[in-house]
Structure 1
Amino acid sequence: MRNLIVLVVPVLVAACSDTGSKSATPPSHAELIAHETELLKLTLTSEAQRRLGIETVRVGGGSAQRVRPVAGEIVVPPMTANGVPTNSLSNLQQIGSQQAVADGEVARTEAQARLARIALNRAEALVREEAGSVRARDEAAAALAAANAVADAARQQRRLLGPAVGAMGNQTRLWVRASVFASDLAGLSRSAQTMVRPLGGEGVSRAAQPVQAPPSANGAAGTVDVYYAFDNCDRAFRVGQRVSVDLPLEGQSSGLSVPSSAILRDIYGGEWVYRRTGKDTFVRQRIEVASEKDGRALLSRGLQAGAEVVTVGAAELFGTEFGAAH
């Protein structure tokens, strides 16, 4: 028994010593290599700046209407105020079948209305010649009124189905549907126009006006749909296309403003400007754009008032920094 105790004690001591040595070395270590701006400093001679056409401007204050970018979808507007817009989720085959049936119903009811008009004219002529009864004329007039009512109802039902499926891609005026969270609906400026842009920012942007549409919402997502109309005579947008919509909000936002020409965007969507830090030195600095309109960008962070940024030649500095030829 005594020999057993003697053998166990050294093992425990060794285990304790191993634990202590392992705890002294941390499992990971972080070391600061360099600050981001220290790695991106450019020094150019006066002659190089002249060849690149460098121009700078001081950062100042500005204000713009508050907007909230959301995703939207281009839809076909209805033919009547009581109609429902056609979106990409609609079953076009079913809509086309319904339109064909509605077109046939319109033709049938209009033919019956013409026949009722002929019967009324004949009854009126007989009354004038004292060869027919007034009762027959009144019945013919009532039949014409009923036929016209049925024809009007058929035409209205056809208009509710929207334009023909084959003509949906030729609409010169389209709507965009944007989904807004119900909690944000109160802060939305419903009388102001919005801007519609293709996803990715490439392509033309289009001003759209708010329109009244039948109420629609997504209960599962908690969103409400709002609609805007815009001209599409140049066919720049297609039905079903996903776009970015800058929804206008109540109030104005203020901050620092720079020309849009000073902003560079990398392949990852990062936004940058070149800031002059000395007579011949420039630093690429990250910024964040809150809104952009009419050639000016309102910043949410990244610069201080009075900073001098490059407005002409920023792309050339970007190419100089990464070795791209110009």
Structure 2
Amino acid sequence: MHRISFLCVLLLLPACGDKNKARSTPPAKAETVGHETELLKLTLTPQAVQRLGIATIKVGQGQAAMMRETSGEIVVPNGAGGVPTGSLSNLAQIGTAQAAADGEVARTRAQARLARIALDRASRLVAEEAGSIRSRDEAAAALATAQAQANVAVEQRRLLGPSVAALDRQSALWVRVSVSGTDIADVARSSSVLVRALGATDSDSRAHPVQAPPSANAAAGTVDLYYAIDNRSHEWRVGQRVGVQLPIGRMQQGLTVPASAILRDIYGGEWVYAQTEPNHFVRQRVEITSAGADGAIVSRGLEPGMRVVTTGAMELFGTEFGVAH
């Protein structure tokens, strides 16, 4: 019996050792790595600075209009107050209605021409004392009726907007922005907005507010605002989703930098190049509170008096990562 107990104790000892070893091994291991700013220093020769056209500006206190980032959709404006045509519109149904309206316009105009001929004939007969004045008056009334019907047909056709085939060839388009009903009072309705294609890194386009038929989404609790944008270069397409910067109407104080100084990486991170000493530059992460076409308010990442690169920031970015610009 004692020999059996001793063997059991010997068998349990390795298991206890493995358990204690598992407890001593941490589940995760953390290693210290270099801070990002320690890895992103550039030293340029004076000739390279001149060749890249590097220009800097001192960061100072300022103010900028507060902007709110949201999304919008490119739509076709309807000239006489019709509902703008967008990606959610049934283009086949619109095309059918436009074809019917075009036919109605042609029919009523033909009737008006016939009524004009009848009136001219009746007027000549009265002048030659071969017709009655009543017939002439009836012909004049028929002409007025035909012209009124033609005008109605033209207005109904205009409400349907440009032909479906010409939607993307408009010289001016509208941007429809859906704003929450709780935020609509904060938007500066009379101010223009900045529009940018999703994923684009070039300069923003400016769109101006326009009067449009009232539209809203009761289920989502949003109200639609409309802005006109130039499309003479055919840059925009109907149904295209775009980024929109809405002006809030309030000014914000803080450190300001020009818009040309801000860089954005593929992950949405915002950076500027700070000049630590002559010909020495450091890519510095910043946090933008509000941005516009003229400048941005920086809430974190910069100190008053620092110098940042305004012209040539993209060239420095390319130099750092070996990409030509």
Deviates more, 1:31-40 or 1:218-227: 31-40
Aligned twin of 1:4: none
Distance (Å, rounded) in 2 between the aligned partners of 1:122 and 1:70? 64
Alignment of 1:62-81 (within 5 A): 62-80=62-80
The answer to whether the aligner puts 1:218 opposite 2:189 as a matched pair is no
SS in structure 1 of the partner of residue 292 of structure 2: strand
Contact 2:41 2:281 in 1 (8 A): yes
1:143-167 Cα deviation digits (max 9, x unpaired): 2222222221111111111112222
1:101 paired with 2:94, answer: no
- Alpha carbons of structure 1 residues 286 and 106: separation in structure 2 relative to 1, 3 Å: same
Q: Distance in 2 between matches of 1:280 and 1:172?
A: 47
Shift of 1:226: 0.8
Change in 2 beyond 3 A, CA 1:303/1:245: same
Note if contact 1:211-1:229 (Cα within 8 Å) is conserved in structure 2. yes
Q: Secondary structure at the match of 2:183?
A: helix
| CA deviation profile, 1:84-143 (whole Å, cap 9, x unmatched) | 221122222222222111111111111222222333333444444164253x34333332
Structure 2 equivalent of residue 156 of structure 1: 155
More deviation in 296-305 or 177-186? 296-305
How many angstroms apart in 1 are the aligned matches of 2:324 and 2:111? 76
Aligned pairs for 1:1-326 (under 5 A) are: 26-42=26-42, 48-53=45-50, 55-80=55-80, 82-128=81-127, 129=129, 131-134=131-134, 136-203=135-202, 205-277=204-276, 282-289=281-288, 290-294=290-294, 296-312=295-311, 314-315=313-314, 317-318=316-317, 321-322=320-321
**Superposition deviation, residue 41 in structure 1:** 4.2
Contact persistence 2:94–2:160 (CA under 8 A): yes
Q: Give the TM-score normalised by the residue count of structure 1.
A: 0.81
CA distance in 2, matches of 1:313, 1:204: 15
Q: Distance in 2 between matches of 1:309 and 1:324?
A: 21
Report percent identity of matched pairs: 59
> Please, which moves more after superposition, 310-319 or 218-227?
310-319
Does the 8 A contact of 2:204 with 2:293 survive in 1? no
Separation in 1, partners of 2:110, 2:66: 56
8 Å CA contact 2:62, 2:254 repeated in 1: yes
For residue 15 of structure 1, report the CA deviation from its aligned partner: 9.9
Structure 2 Cα separation of the partners of residues 107 and 224 of structure 1 = 38
Question: 1:279 and 1:131 mapped to 2: Cα distance?
Answer: 100
What SS does the corresponding residue of 1:192 show, helix, strand or coil? coil
Q: Deviations along 1:232-260, whole A, 9 cap, x unmatched?
A: 22222222222222212111122212234
Of stretches 151-160 and 11-20 in structure 1, the one that deviates more from structure 2 is 11-20
Q: Is 1:62–1:256's contact at 8 Å kept on the other side of the alignment?
A: yes
Deviations along 1:257-302, one digit per CA (max 9) or x if unpaired, are: 22344333333232222324456754321013331324x3332322
Q: Matched residues in 2 for 1:175 and 1:253: separation?
A: 29
Once structures 1 and 2 are overlaid, which stretch shifts more, 150-159 or 13-22? 13-22
* Cα offset, 1:175, TM superposition: 1.2
CA RMSD of aligned residues (A): 3.4
- Partner Cα distance (2:323, 2:110) in 1: 73
Q: How far apart, CA to CA, are the structure 2 residues paired with 1:228 and 1:325?
A: 37
Residue 110 of structure 2 aligns to a residue whose secondary structure is: helix
Alignment check: 8 A CA contact 2:118 2:139 kept: yes
Distance 2:145 2:278 in 1: 87
Contact residue 52 and residue 316 of structure 1 kept, 8 A = no
Count of residue correspondences: 320
Q: TM-score, length-normalised on structure 2? A: 0.81
